[in-house]
Amino acid sequence: GAVVSQHPSWVICKSGTSVKIECRSLDFQATTMFWYRQFPKQSLMLMATSNEGSKATYEQGVEKDKFLINHASLTLSTLTVTSAHPEDSSFYICSASIAGVRAGELFFGEGSRLTVL
């Protein structure tokens, strides 16, 4: 099946630094990718929809200047948490659907756990 890979799987950083998380579709092209965050014992919360070659669409309440999303190619989307603070510590998960497949399944990455000290 299709594989989505995230890197890094975990990262620890100091408060005030920026962290970049990569999401790659390894064996398929993805015109659309989705970014989620998940706090302990909670469900996934959609942050933004990333479209190849255009600006991301952010969900209400998500700061676009804090969570920078870039989708430069059909196989790579990146999420940069700028000036991270302890409250940004979370599990970040990306997902992608195969280009051209309508309403098909989404493939999820393994997740990236961010801890901000």
Partner 1 sequence: DAKTTQPNSMESNEEEPVHLPCNHSTISGTDYIHWYRQLPSQGPEYVIHGLTSNVNNRMASLAIAEDRKSSTLILHRATLRDAAVYYCILRESGNTGKLIFGQGTTLQVKP
Residues lying near partner 1 in the complex (CB under 8 A) are found at 4, 6, 31-32, 34, 36, 43-46, 49, 51, 91, 93, 95, 97, 99-111, 113
Q: Considering beta carbons, is residue 68 or 106 the nearer one to partner 1? A: 106
Angle at 17 between CA 54 and CA 61, to 5 degrees: 50
CB of 83 to partner 1, least distance (A): 26
Between residues 12 and 101, which has the closer beta carbon with respect to partner 1? 101
C-beta of 19 vs 23, nearer to partner 1: 23
DSSP line for 44-112? -EEEEEEETTS--EEPTT--TTTEEEEEEETTEEEEEE-S--GGG-EEEEEEE--TT-TT---EE---E
Distance of closest approach, residue 13 Cβ to partner 1, in angstroms = 19
